[in-house]
Structure 1
């Protein structure tokens, strides 16, 4: 019933758009015949207002993948470079938390591994909301930061890297079979805030899927049993995402051969010094306000990447009404 309602709403939206377009074109034709400029102007204004509806429907069409409607995990890992990259990873964590909250998503911290001096080595977020995975899926890859280091006494410019991996939460309608003998389960003490119980018991759980090398970990609960259950769900989600990726790569071999930007490669640069610019290396979309981007203003980068996947271009399909 949920899928039927979604399809019904989509079809009704298109039909209404077609009818409104036909009505306004007819009004313009009548206005020209009667030389009534008021009617022509009213119809042209209505057509321009329709552009917002068109772009909204276009975005909805981009979020129609198999798992796009699911909640999502967002895993962030610092790259080589010690404190610099760990601080950069924590900045990305904050950016995505703020973006998720701005979208009205429920954002939960599932795993957090402190850096040695500052920042984080790794962290995993769970975002719950409509089309959370659909929006976030194009953020997987390596993110590059260029800035004057606050940790360098000589104030030199540093380049730091951190990776982001996004994978959908697997719901009950998807059956993922995992052979437990293929997995190694480790328990350890959680790090960071959490109280005496969390920091003095082996409540955190790490599961390694040996055939694929996929590693997941969870320390969000006080109970090892709950963390273990959550870690199994995270592993299922990672394996499911890997299968979605494989299918997408097979279906888009021709398109993917036209670019050297793939899963796990550098996708975006954030330059704070000597100039200020955020540039997506896949779509060419730029922002000269990196602080706004780091405060969560990343939707336009996501929209362009989704459009590129669907249409082979990062541009809006309809830019203006003639």
Structure 2
């Protein structure tokens, strides 16, 4: 580990030197790549420099204890020694986590697809509530959300909704939301007071940008344009601006109708299609690497039931990590960071355990 850290320290110094060169500043693409690498290495380098300083503090304290006869100075040296030893242990753990292989998609924006499952109108209502939960969470992170497509019911529910979240590191956090979400409550239409169980599915896909090669052949696509349906502004519902793409090889159909411009809707639809094709590719890769998939939290089987929202008891349980929180109202209002942090910690622990096995 420390050989690797020394190499990273050297690379960091090289990057700082390169970034100061005039030629680099005049090449935006190269400058962007070097800045990205520098920002990725910065936390590792900072932790490793602190680690080396703490190791030096331990050596200095031990030397002082060997040489010093004054009791007060010896006590001070012992205190500094204990503090440095404790911090070294913390930093060793931090560095192991920082050196874990990073998901190349973590910094990307995301496309989220929510679909009502079992439960009819109640599932559609819950899908709309989960969509609002993610909207509030995105607002708390200063991320921007943008609807691509929504199939709304007349009573405030959503049979399906697809939306984009634009924000630094959105995928690194939102990827833990993929899976089946279950709700247990008494529907407003239930006269007997019985608790019903309904489900929705959430798929979180990284936005596909230029660094990912997803080739879509024109002959494999059918493009239909039509008038948008449902809620919309004056122009949205009166022009043929909605776009539907059908991808023959995969059978994927995507639809975008939220923009006034057909060109904008077409761009959104192609972005969604690329994300879906890339997602299929990722899932196939995970299926081929079954052991790796089992060790991951949040990027596994989309059919996995990951969470239950129990309204009568005011609790939310994440089944992957056996976490139960009794603050359902806050969670439905977007306060999901504690759950995501727990998923990240469990994911890191699983990867560290796997690393230690090897």
- Normalised by the length of structure 2, the TM-score is 0.75
Kept after mapping to 2: 8 A contact 1:63/1:135 = no
Deviation larger for 159-168 or 172-181: 172-181
| 2:335 pairs with one of 266, 286, 297 | 297
Unaligned runs of 5+ in 2: 1-33
Q: CA RMSD, aligned part only? A: 3.4
- State the 1:29 CA deviation: 5.1
Q: Write the distance in 1 (CA, Å) between the matches of 2:314 and 2:242.
A: 40
Give 1:131 deviation, angstroms.
Answer: 1.4
Pick aligned residue for 2:42 from 9, 19, 42: 9
Higher relative contact order (CA 8 A, sep 6+): 1
Question: How far is 1:12 from its partner?
Answer: 0.9
In structure 2, relative to structure 1, the CA distance for the partners of 1:313 and 1:65 (3 Å cut) is: closer
In terms of mean alpha carbon deviation, does 19-28 or 280-289 score higher?
19-28
Partner of 2:123: 85
**Equivalent of residue 107 in structure 1, options 145, 167, 171:** 145
Counterpart for residue 257 of structure 2: 219
Find the aligned partners of 1:63 and 1:93 in 2 and give their Cα distance.
31
Q: Distance in 1 between matches of 2:186 and 2:178?
A: 26
Larger radius of gyration: 2
Map Cα deviations across residues 138-157 of structure 1 (whole Å, 9 max, x no partner): 21111001112123233321
Q: Secondary structure at the match of 1:197?
A: coil
Whole-angstrom CA distance in 2 between matches of 1:90 and 1:314: 37
- How far, CA to CA, are the matches of 2:324 and 2:83 in structure 1? 30
Deviations 1:202-245 (A, max 9, x none): 32222232322323222221012210121012111211122222
Q: CA deviation at 1:61?
A: 5.8
Cα pair distance change 1:170/1:143, threshold 3 Å: same
Find the counterpart in structure 1 of residue 304 from structure 2.
265
Displacement of 1:37: 4.8
Query: Could you state the TM-score of these two structures normalised by the residue count of structure 1?
Result: 0.83
Output the CA distance in 2 between the equivalents of 1:301 and 1:166. 16
Deviations 1:175-215 (A, max 9, x none): 21112332333334434443122123332222232322323
Task: Describe the shift of the 1:13–1:220 C-alpha distance in structure 2 as closer, same or farther (beyond 3 A).
Answer: farther
- Asked if the contact 1:73/1:127 (under 8 Å) is kept, the reply is yes
**Aligned mates of 2:229, 2:295 — CA distance in 1:** 43
Q: Is the 8 A contact 2:97 2:348 kept in 1?
A: no
Contact 1:31 1:37 in 2 (8 A): no
Aligned with 1:123: secondary structure?
strand
Q: Is the partner of 1:69 in helix, strand or coil?
A: coil
Count matched residues.
Answer: 314
Q: Does 1:285 align with 2:318?
A: no
Alignment of 1:112-131 (within 5 A): 112-131=150-169
User: How far 1:74 moved relative to its partner?
Assistant: 0.8
Gaps of 5+ in 1: 318-322
1:277 to 1:75, Cα distance in 2 relative to 1, 3 A: same
Relative distance call for 1:105 and 1:258 in structure 2 (3 A) is: closer
Q: Could you tell me whether the CA contact under 8 Å between 1:307 and 1:313 is conserved in 2? A: no
- Structure 2 CA distance for partners of 1:61 and 1:157, relative to 1, 3 Å: farther
- Cα deviation, 1:272-322, whole Å, max 9, x if unaligned, reads 11x22211111212211111211212223223334444542799x9xxxxx
Q: How does 1:5-154 map to 2 (within 5 A)?
A: 5-23=38-56, 25-26=58-59, 36-37=74-75, 40=78, 64-154=102-192
The structure with the greater share of residues assigned to helix is 2
